[in-house]
Amino acid sequence: MATEKILILIKPDGVKRGLAGEVLARIERKGYTLENIAWHAATPEKLAAHYAEHVEKPFYPSLVEYMSSGPIVAAVFSGDSVIAGVRSLAGSTDPTTAAPGTIRGDFGRDWGTGNIENIIHASDSPESAEREIAVWF
């Protein structure tokens, strides 16, 4: 299998709670290679490019508000099957039901904000990864 790349975003809730190092370490301990990393303030333009498929959906304004509520960490990792591997480490999107041992299962929960504050974004396909990496790097 060819080496893949994935974009991960440690979302504002993860950064605010001091979890960036733990999230990055879990991915590195799995054996994936950190290729690039940067702090970002998520601008409306970057978020519109990143979440292009959601711009017209009713939840989009609250997603923008949440993602721009603080700094995020963007990172690119590479490795064989990195997309499937990191998404498995991340766990289910819903942090309330994410399995223990996953990033979302261990650190995420419903905070009653109406947003899914689930610590991490991970690209879901090679095509998404390529597009998302271009947005943030």
What are the residue ranges spanned by the domains of the chain? 3-136
Residues 6, 86: contact at Cβ < 8 Å? yes
Amino acid at residue number 105:
G
Spell out the per-residue pLDDT of the chain, length 137, in tens: 569 999 999 999 999 999 999 999 999 999 999 999 999 999 999 999 999 999 999 989 999 999 999 999 999 999 999 999 999 999 999 988 999 999 999 999 887 777 778 999 999 999 999 999 999 99
User: Given this structure, which CATH class describes domain 3-136?
Assistant: alpha beta
pLDDT of res. 109? 84
Among 40, 50, 54, 121, the active-site one is 121
pLDDT score at 113: 76
- Global model pTM greater than 0.85: yes
Active site residue 50: no
pLDDT of residue 1: 57
Sheet holding 3-10: strands in order across? 33-40, 72-80, 3-10, 120-122
Nearest to 122 by CA among 101, 79, 97, 93: 93
Residue 11, pLDDT score: 96
pLDDT at position 106: 95
